[in-house]
Chains A and B, each alone.
Chain A
């Protein structure tokens, strides 16, 4: 190990296709749960904004789920969803994403200025209509801020899935560790960082497009 260089470039050159495959797998495993989490967080968040009593118990549940170690959850799920399947890794990641996205959604819906809410009511929006066409669009910057946190943490967490045989780039860490060969580890870290950065930039861009009116509000919701 002492004479082993940090990176052997030829190994990377030889394994471009393999690395690409792992990267794609990693992206799917990490980001599909975030998308599903978003699709669940929006209706749940709207319900919590409409019926505030829902929010406390729901957020308590998701906080507890968030506190569970991912590996433990994987192990619990294996009998139902199978070893080394995408589902086994993606189900807990979905809950983690939801645990981040639900509070940001609710915060975003609540952050709409009272004057805006009252004006909407006074113009003849019903409570649900107002939530979906005034408060929800106004909460987009918050949603995107939540998505950035959820996406990056999901990309990082997904590698743990390698321990049960489905972790995308995480497999490179196990491989490198078992062979005391650092090159795959470095490659995995670099690719994970690149993936996280790319997704983050994409979301920043999405914010520009979806909420051009919010460019001034720096750091809203984060």
Chain B
């Protein structure tokens, strides 16, 4: 655990970077410091590894004042990732990753083996090892930066806007990767960003900072989005915070309407099961994978695209998005094989939002990643991470009574 006790920083010229902050960063969790530039978040981060010395108060690492520890030794036990990755241009990727093990005096072979292991862990191909940093894309460099920070298996990880310099698609991939790593490694992460979206997505605990490092609000992402402490925080969160809050709720909270067995056994062979929604009919193939929506009133059997989601890994936001995009106003729940397991209408999403019907934060911490439905995009050339975690059950667990979801008549 990292504990800030009245930690403040006054520059020699008299300007105050941080007035004096009290904060606990719990072990094994991601704590995000978020705020506008100049709020002192980077200064606070650097107090932990003594790259900045507080002028008042102190910072404790597992109960020990960091000021009592020798800086170089302290830093070798703390992973550090920065915005531009800061890879050593003259060292190959493998040697960049092995930096701290080498500094710690590990046997060279062991250090290299460890580095190769980490390369795989962050989703980079083994042949990347022999490249130089300039030969990598920004996203790949950032992955190497994360691997380098993790090389000596430090319990604490400091991350200073690590994903700010890459494009949004790559950033999303890196964020996803960080959550996956965290679900395996359980590091104590202190993460600095100016991007509230990123803060809410990654943090188990989000600390919204004002100028001079004053805490405006400290809360879990759900609480932050639903009950901002004041107008200032609400303004910082942005106008669509309610909508973004959906991104924190698991799609499994929705009561799905079953799709039935697909047999058309109604009167005159017409469809009577969950395949019809208003004037639209969902068409499945023999494997029960959705093919498209057909407008029952139309003369031609033109197929309209289906928007699907995975109940165990996606969030309500994805489901609502899929439902809005679907011509029938219905999102289709899919299992890992892409087979339809149920449907969720817009109304069903809203019903899941009713008080008591959802489990805010149930998808957290770490274990399940919100919004995994986005396109795989691990950055140019990285090939994207391989998903290792499968949903626990093949079928949607919440495929309950159809009347729970008043979608379609």
> Which A residues lie at the B interface, using CB under 8 A?
113, 115-126, 134, 137-138, 140, 211-214, 216
Contact = CB atoms under 8 A, between A and B. Distances in A.
Interface in B96-151: 99-100, 103, 132-134, 145, 148
B83 A138 contact: no
B89 interface: yes
Interface string B71-85: 111111010101111
A115 B51 contact: no
B75 A122 contact: yes
Most buried by B among A116, A212, A214: A116
Given A124-B103, A216-B134, A115 B75 contact: no
B383 interface: no
A135 to B, nearest CB: 10
Given A213-B90, A213-B133, A124 B84 contact: no
B89 A116 contact: yes
By secondary structure, the A interface counts as helix
B87 interface: yes
Given A134-B88, A138-B88, A123 B82 contact: no
A122 B88 contact: no
B332 to A, nearest CB: 45
A121 B51 contact: yes
Contact of A138 (B80, B84, B90): B90
A125 B72 contact: yes
Most buried by B among A119, A123, A138, A216: A123
Contact of B86 (A119, A124, A137, A211): A119
29 contacts: A115-B84, A115-B85, A116-B87, A116-B88, A119-B80, A119-B86, A119-B88, A119-B148, A122-B78, A123-B75, A123-B80, A123-B99, A124-B73, A124-B74, A124-B75, A124-B100, A125-B72, A125-B103, A126-B72, A137-B90, A138-B88, A138-B90, A140-B90, A211-B90, A212-B132, A213-B90, A213-B134, A214-B90, A216-B134
A116 B86 contact: yes
Nearest to B80: A122
A212 to B, nearest CB: 7
Nearest to A210: B90
A136 to B, nearest CB: 9
B100 A123 contact: yes
Given A115-B84, A121-B75, A140-B90, 12 more contacts: A115-B82, A116-B86, A119-B148, A122-B78, A122-B80, A122-B158, A124-B74, A124-B76, A126-B72, A213-B132, A213-B134, A214-B89
Contacts of A140: 90
Contacts of A134: 88
B44 to A, nearest CB: 15
Contacts of A122: 49, 51, 75, 78, 80, 82, 158
B224 to A, nearest CB: 29
B86 A113 contact: yes
A122 B71 CA distance: 9
A215 to B, nearest CB: 9
Most buried by B among A113, A211, A212, A213: A213
B330 to A, nearest CB: 48
Nearest to B75: A124
Nearest to B104: A124
A151 to B, nearest CB: 23
Contacts of A213: 89-90, 132-134
A118 B51 contact: yes
